[in-house]
Each structure stands twice: as structure tokens, then as C-alpha cells.
Structure 1
């Protein structure tokens, strides 16, 4: 807004408090989403109608900056990142100190939180390999995680020695509860669900969980050039769970789709910046690593049932696990020789 404000510039006032309250209620916000919020605030503050279209990026940035400064003493801050699919920047309130997973305890039971942790583990471990970086799962695959894995025999003995009874172990969820929890994770802004029914971490989750993801899934002692489960965009340096990868399997270059367009626009040749191999744009990170395969497309043509789609996706990912194990066995045989 170009009009003068009643309060001196830089002074935190009721307008700032109203904006922060709206931001906290949502958890995330984009500039477009902020326009009607700020328009309503300015209308009430100035006593005359302010339209959403009159709100500028500068207005939004100033209120975000003031809000971030206000919540800083409470170990909170506002961070932003480009959405991996939409060409818009997402802003989120992030807790800078506590374990993000434990923050769910205010809304979910211990069994539900344990289930969500198993889902994220599956995204970054089971469905994320050098051959196929899917980093997502569908509802059928999530349903298989509803019950925690049975402890190994030695773990069971340790629990008994420590006086931990079987009743203390997480009980797991019912199938109907899995559907409810997955839906709530989407509604609360932690997961996103695609048209094909795959769940992945949302922009908010990637901002909030970034440090936790690195600590949980990446090896700090890994050598340079070694494959890691959490990878970053070569252009914007944010985490990549949806995007493109180099066609050379052992090359670690990854790009968001939006970043790839600008990245190669300034280059004469469309080649990988590290290995120089042609960048095809047809090797994917995310659900397209599954859905763009010939096997998945063939399965979708044969049946319109979502259950069939899910079975095909599971088969493709399972085949990738087997190929990964075979590669490991071959490497071991070569070492023995």
C-alpha cells in the first residue's frame, strides 16, 4: 500500500498482530493467500475499502519480516521455499528448537505419531533408492505400515530385561484410522496428495523438518559424491523430493522442475553441470519415477481401479529393491575376487 499508515513505520501494532494470528492459524501462507488477509486488515485499519489486488509483494514482505521478528524470542521463525510443483513461494512458521515430530503430540495420539514416523521412514528409506527415488507412497502402502514391525528376538529379550512388557509397545492403527490420519496430515499441511493418490511431504514439512531429515537419513561421514537419501536442488539448494535427476545413475545432480527451466535457459547446451551427460528431463525424482514407467502405464491402461494402480506401484518399487540387492551382491562378489 502506498497510503501512509497511522502507526510509525517499524512499530509493531494491531495490524501486525492480526496478520500473525492469521498466519499461525494457517501454518503456511503464499503471497496470493496473504492478499485478502492484508486487504481486510488494511480496510479495518484505514476505515476505507482496500481491495486484494492493491496489496503488493512489498506489503507482504514487510509484514512477514515484522512477524518473524516478533516470534523469534519464542524459538519460532518464518522460512520460505519455492513450491516444488507450483511456481509460488511458500512461507511457513518453523519451530527452530523442538523435535518437529513431537509437535504432532498436541493433535495426535502416540500410536498415530509412531505411524506417521513409519510413513516418513518409508518415504525416505524403502521408497528411496539410487535406482528409484520415489520418496512417496500411496494409501495401500501406508496401510501396510499401520502396525509397528515385530521386534527381533534379541530386541524382545532386551525389552524383557529392562522390564518393558509387551503391553507398552505401540499397538498400531486400524485400516480406517490410517485413512483418517493420512487425511489429517494433508489437512494440517504436512503431507500433499497427488491426483494419482500418492502422498509426499509438503512444502511446509520440508521447511520444518529439514534439519531433522538430514540428521535422520543422511550420513554425516559420507564421502563426497556418495549417494544420500536427502538431496538438494543444484540451482536453489532446497531439498528435492519432486523433480528431475541426471540420466547417469551415479551422478548426484538433482533439479526442481521449475528450477530446471531457468537453469538451462542460460546455458548453450542442455547437459548435466557435473558429468556433462545430456539432461533429458525424463529421469525423475518423486512419484513420476513410478508413474512414468512403462509397467505403471501398462497397468493403468489395463484397469481403472485404484487398487490395481497401487498393486502395480508396489510391484515396481519391490522390483527396484530386488535389483538393488542384486547390485549389492555383484559388488560383493567383485570385492571377493
Structure 2
């Protein structure tokens, strides 16, 4: 450890350890506060250079390396924000959580992950997320046990996991792994859900062709048996560097309309709704045609009745002349 490691570096390390993860903006804000205390300045996060921030990250990473911890970073798959996380580089994540969670809570988390990466991650539909309603189903809360978690306990645990940056919840109510979890659980996810070491075999955990990070939100190849995936945030730069928009593995055209993440199901639902609306309009149109036809037929009948009545009501001209 370098001799210039100081109280400011310790304060920064404590901050990232306490939060578990932080964004670049949050990190710079912490550094600004530390420098203001240390140097008596009044700077803001905008005044903290990337080099200064990187020096705090490097010092923190070096300080924890001998304890088998790391400071890892990745871009958020949706917002593109740079995220930094304090992660254990060696031990099983469930071993780490054993001191913080009850056995039933750990079993619930495992069933939650199985649902996200097994049940909701099929060959045809890679949702890789779970709805709040599904996360509270009795099969996930209790499994095959009579005990498990109550709905209230499960809701509290989900809230805690979200607050601790293990899970994130979308505006449509889908839970998925947050960047902290993707960085911390990377090796565990691969070991537990990828059965075949052959990179060309279908795998549950797939990686972005551009940045090589796990993809739980993005795009997939049109070929269901192809493992090529791309983050939406990586797509533009990736295709700009290539001569064509063809999949780099199977060479099929990449149309950008096959999704990974909750969009895989929300788009399908929208298509079904659109199809339903189209069918409804078609039935309405047919109904209108039938009604129009019936209306025209009724009008013809009414006209005929009126004409017959008119003839009956006309005076007999022959009778009138004889009088």
C-alpha cells in the first residue's frame, strides 16, 4: 500500500463498502465532499476530474485486494451509467449472505434466480426478469416447504434487495438483477446455469458481442440457436465497426427486432393486443356490413309496404265517374 493512502481514501472505501455499489456521479460527489473536508475547498462533483476519481478507485481496490475483494465496474445496460461495485472475488455469494439472511430467505433468493434464469429464460423468450406478482407466488415463496416466507416477508425481502442494489424494478413492475448483482454473481451464474462448455451450444447466460458483459437486456440474433447477443447501448458502435449488419456468427441479417429482457414479453403482448384490436375491428366491420345489409333490406321492405298502402288508399276513379 502506498504511503499516501489517507483518511480520505479510507472514507471513500467505507462509502462504497456501505453502499455495495455506486454510480460515477455518486462517486464523484463523495470524492468532492472528502476533498472539501481535507483541503477546505468548496468544489462539486462536476469539479472532480476522472483522473482524480480513478485514483480513489485504484486506492480502494488495492486496499481490499489482499482480503479477496475487488472494485469492479460496468455500464448499466439501460441508462449507460458507469457503475462501480464492491464485490467478493472468491467465495460463494450465498455463503457471504448466510450471515445476513435467514435460511428461508436464501432459499427464496435461489428460487427467484432459478425463475429468472431458467423458467423465464427459454429458447424462444429470454425475459430474464420476473414480475412482482410472480415473485410473490407461493411456489417461489415456499417451494416444497411448508414454511418458506409469507407474502409480507417476501415483499420486505424484495424491497431490501432493491434498496441494497441487488435487484432493480422497472416501471412495468419487472424485477431483474442490478449491475451490482451481475458483477458479484457473474461466475456463479455461469457455473450454475450454463451446462455446456461448448461456446456454440445454447447457453442460459450469454454475453454481449461488443463489451463481453452479461446480457439481460438487449437484442438477440434472429436464429434461435445462435448465441449472439448485443446490449442496446453497444449496438450503434458495434455495427459502425462492421461492414454489414449481419450476425458475426451465423451471418443472418440482424433486424434489431428480437429482444432480450422484459421487452421480449411486452412486445409480444403488444402484438397480441394489436392483433386482438385488428380482429375486433374486422368483426366490427363485418357486423357493420351485416347491419347495413339488413338495414337496406328492411328499407326495401318498408318502401314496399308504403307503396301498397298508398295504392289501397287511392280513390277508385271508375266508381267516382259512375256516380
Give the TM bin, normalised by the shorter chain: 0.7 to 0.9
The yes-or-no answer on 1:66 pairing with 2:59 is: yes
Contact 2:142 2:149 (C-alpha < 8 Å) held by counterparts: no
Q: Is the 8 A contact 2:141 2:154 kept in 1?
A: no
Q: Counterpart in 2 of 1:292?
A: 267
Length, aligned pairs only? 274
CA contact (8 A) 2:141 2:151 kept: no
**Aligned match for 1:27, one of 7, 14, 20:** 20
Find the counterpart in structure 2 of residue 265 from structure 1.
Answer: 240
Partner of 1:241: 216
Is 1:13 equivalent to 2:6 in the alignment? Answer: yes
> For each residue in 1:207-265, what CA deviation from the matched residue of structure 2 results, as whole angstroms up to 9, or x when unmatched?
0001111111111x443411011111111111111110011111110001111111012
Q: Is the 8 A contact 1:191 1:202 kept in 2?
A: yes
Q: Which has the larger radius of gyration?
A: 2
Q: Secondary structure at the match of 1:292?
A: helix
Tell me, in whole angstroms, the C-alpha distance in 1 between the residues paired with 2:159 and 2:173: 11
- 1:295 to partner: Cα distance: 5.4
SS in 2 for 1:106: coil
Whether the 8 Å contact between 2:120 and 2:127 is mirrored in structure 1 is: yes
* 1:1-337 correspondence to structure 2 within 5 Å: 11-144=4-137, 145-150=139-144, 171-219=147-195, 221-294=196-269, 298=273
Question: More deviation in 126-135 or 259-268?
Answer: 259-268
CA distance, structure 2, for counterparts of residue 48 and residue 293 of structure 1: 54
Q: CA deviation at 1:106?
A: 3.2
- 5+ long unaligned stretches in structure 2: 278-323
Structure 1: runs of 5+ lacking an equivalent = 1-8, 151-168, 303-337
Contact 1:233 1:240 in 2 (8 A): yes
